Amino acid sequence: MSRETVNKSDLVKIISEKCSVSQNQVNNVLTEFCNCCSDSLKSGKSVILVGFGTFTTGERKARVGRNPQNGDVINIPAATVPKFRPGKILKDAVAGEKKKKK
């Protein structure tokens, strides 16, 4: 199954057309939104967009892995990683789209 993707410039164009705002303004707002989310997550805060979803962070433990090219054992350090949990409205919208396509 082939999936199409929407990148940032596509998203900027779509929002610009729907809201009758210049693409430059939408790009600035979208960039700042991403920056604010990153800053909040870095400082240990969650970002909650009711209905859409919640951005949080989680801890990944250190572990031992293997280099897939040569099989060497490597140590993978612990890390703080971003997580996203979709909200009910988003889940329902996506589930509703799948039902329509069948």
pLDDT per position as a tens digit, 52-61: 999 999 999 9
pLDDT at 3: 79
Share of the chain above pLDDT 70, in %: 92
Residue 15: other Cβ atoms inside 10 A: 16
Burial pattern 52-83, b for ≥16 Cβ within 10 A else e, equals ebebbbeeeeeeeeeeeeeeeeeeeeeeeeee
Q: Tell which phi-psi region holds residue 20, choosing left (phi > 0), alpha (psi between -120 and 50) or beta.
A: left
Is pLDDT above 60 for 24? yes
DSSP label at residue 70:
T
Residue 86: other Cβ atoms inside 10 A: 14
